[in-house]
Structure 1
Amino acid sequence: MAPAARSADELIRVLDESCTATLASLKRPTREPAALSSAESSSPPSLSDIRNDVLAHLQAISKEVTAISLALRPPVSQDALKGTLEKLVGVVGKLVYAAELLPRDGTLAKRMNWTVQESLEAFQHFLSSISSTLAAPSSSAKSARDELLRSAKTVWSVVDKAQEMGDDLAAALEPPQDELKEAVEEVLSVGEELAKCIEGAVDERGSEEVKKAEMEWLGVWRKQRDTAKAKLDAI
């Protein structure tokens, strides 16, 4: 027998409780790490992976907030509202899981933590506005809907800001290309100096057989060096 469909009020309560519990967890100085699947345990997600998941789930929440704002335009579509709230239960659950994977230490992880907190708080206020809109008598329906739209705009704004910050985080997670290139070029330069020293020593004291072998080896080394440098330049 299929489970009975949940009412809009019940779905709102489930979402609100999930947000409250997650916010409490994220605000604690320490917490138990989230349980990982067997696949994740062998290869834990990187901060970059977690960031991508968090931003994707926030974007999905923003999209469903838009759908609810439309569903609550008079005449209210209860079916559309409940369907969207059901989707949000799944999306928020995924966001909660991703947020629980965030490390406690590190500037980038803390910024992501704050972003999730700000987003959940804005979303909770939106949930409250849904309840107020549904319960509002006709005399105050317009003011309730205006408040709903204001809270929706707050969610959109917070999520947009999170997406922009996500780009900054992605840049911060990238290795410093200029410094990397400079370091590699320095290593290659030192290697070339060493190769010249070897050539000089072989020319002075090496037999023809040794000279031939060393020249072949140096030729291969220089070819590999040039290939590595070309790949670096292409980054």
Structure 2
Amino acid sequence: MKTFVVGDIHGGLKGLKQVISKAGIVASDRLIFLGDYVDGWSQSDKVIDFLITLKKTHNCIFLTGNHDDLLLKYLNTKKHNEEWYKHGGQSTIDAYKKVDEKTIKKHITFLNSLKPYYIDEKNRLFIHAGFTNLKGVDFEYFRPLFYWDRTLWECALALDKTLKIESIYYPSRLKLYNEIYIGHTPVTRINKTTPHNAANVWNIDTGAAFKGPLTILNVETKKYWQSNPLHELYPEEKGRN
């Protein structure tokens, strides 16, 4: 069994289908999705439909992203905050205007089933954003940090590369897991469009919400495949620009 991790999708179903095809995914492979399935491009509802169907034939693990949590609240209450509306929520609201109530209920069930994080048999942590508790995710006192935190990634980026893990100054969070896979903070912020590794943290969000590609990565080999930049696949749309 091969294990693949999929970065933030943000309504870009065309990009998702591209990378799954390019990676040659088969039913026995394990697919770990890091969250943020919605908000940005126009196919947020279609992405959820696709993932629900994919789960029936493949070994899938779906994590919660902050945008998925915002969508769940909207579907349950039909209310939204203006910040979500500005940061990709508008395209999702527009998409769900065309979705029938039966399908919406299925999507609510799917969103409620999302995991906050996943730790595999090799002590590798998969999480949308990060965590702050120095004892690890099981001890996190404020669980929304799992899909909102950026300090884990900032810590990994800022770490002095010459610092040894045995040092008393080495960040405790980075000692807990053999590897950590995240999305949430696009690597385009550091002028990258490919998966980026800092310390033992791998960031797979390659900016698909904006003008970057969507990425899938083989966890064992670190080989990755990317879609076209999403704005090329949706030339009439703005994404989250």
Q: TM-score, normalised by structure 2?
A: 0.22
Structure with the larger RCO, 1 or 2 (CA within 8 Å, 6+ apart): 2
> Which has the greater radius of gyration?
1
Q: Which has the higher strand share?
A: 2
- Higher helix proportion, which one? 1
